[in-house]
Amino acid sequence: MATNKQTDAARTNVRKAQAGAKAKKTISKVPAKTRSALGKQGAAVAQRKRTGSSEPKTRAELYELAKKRDLPGRSKMGRDELAKALKPK
């Protein structure tokens, strides 16, 4: 699960890309910052799909582990925050 900031950024990027498509612009004419953000989001999703045979990949799996360890504040944590909190110290 993404944080609110990540979700808002993704929505903004999608809106910009859609506006560009409506104006018949190609992806190369979308602002560089938007192109970069879209690329990073896609790369992150692809990497999660490729990696981690024994490690949990989804927020739901991480949440279940946090639940078993009785981690406080787990319901408000995103995927990355749960992964960081569950790492052995």
pLDDT tens profile 53-66: 455 567 887 899 99
Between 42 and 70, whose confidence is greater? 70
Contacts of 15 (CB under 8 A, 6+ apart): none
Query: Domain range holding 43?
Result: 1-51
Mark whether 2 and 38 lie in a shared domain: yes
Same domain membership, residue 63 and residue 45: no
- 38 and 62 share a domain? no
Whether 15 and 31 share a structural domain? yes
Residues 60 and 81 in one domain: yes
Q: How far apart are CA 60 and CA 16, in angstroms?
A: 30
pLDDT value of position 53: 47
Whether 32 contacts 56, CB under 8 Å: no
Which pLDDT belongs to residue 69?
Answer: 93
38 and 72 housed in the same domain: no
Contact between residue 41 and residue 13 where contact means Cβ atoms under 8 Å apart:
yes
Q: Which residues of 65-82 are buried (b: 16+ CB within 10 A; e: fewer)?
A: ebeeeebeebeebbbebb
Does pTM top 0.95 for this prediction?
A: no
